Homo-oligomer: A and B are copies of this chain.
Amino acid sequence: MSSDTLRGRILAAGQRITPQRDLIAGVLERAGRPLAAQELCDAVGQEDPGIGRATVFRTLQSLQEAGIVQNVTLLGNQAGYLLCASAGHHHHLVCRHCGAIEDLPEAEVAPFLSGVEAAHGFGVDHATFNIYGACRACAGEEHAGR
């Protein structure tokens, strides 16, 4: 069960299991796409109105430290919180039509970064990418649809 995995990852990060964390991680997991702060707070409040705003943000912080949640920048510079299955450093392709997310493994960007380092004499030590467009499904529809 994936709940086991989630809990395992929380524990592995030296953090405690609490009902709040369970619930919040669950909301993100079921969403399957990045949620804005507002959306997340609403969804959490709907499942348990007792959970305070501060706890939501603290939990996001914890889950990020545990490598379970990633912060992505949505269109319009809005912050989105995304539950990630893969734990290591990786990036995301954001479909601007359906909101779906596709992982972009670090291995795929490493050669590009090496090229930049070589060309500019710049030692890259951290990089994030915000890549927006149409996922395969949506690109197909758009092409066929009109």
Contact = CB atoms under 8 A, between A and B. Distances in A.
Interface of A: 71, 73, 75, 77, 79, 93, 95-96, 102, 104, 108-109, 112-113, 115-116, 119-136, 139
Nearest to A103: B120
Nearest to A129: B129
Contacts of A125: 96, 132-134
30 contacts: A71-B77, A73-B73, A73-B128, A75-B126, A77-B79, A93-B116, A93-B122, A95-B122, A96-B125, A96-B126, A102-B122, A104-B116, A104-B120, A108-B119, A112-B112, A113-B131, A121-B139, A122-B131, A122-B133, A122-B135, A123-B133, A123-B134, A124-B131, A125-B132, A125-B133, A126-B131, A128-B129, A128-B130, A129-B130, A130-B130
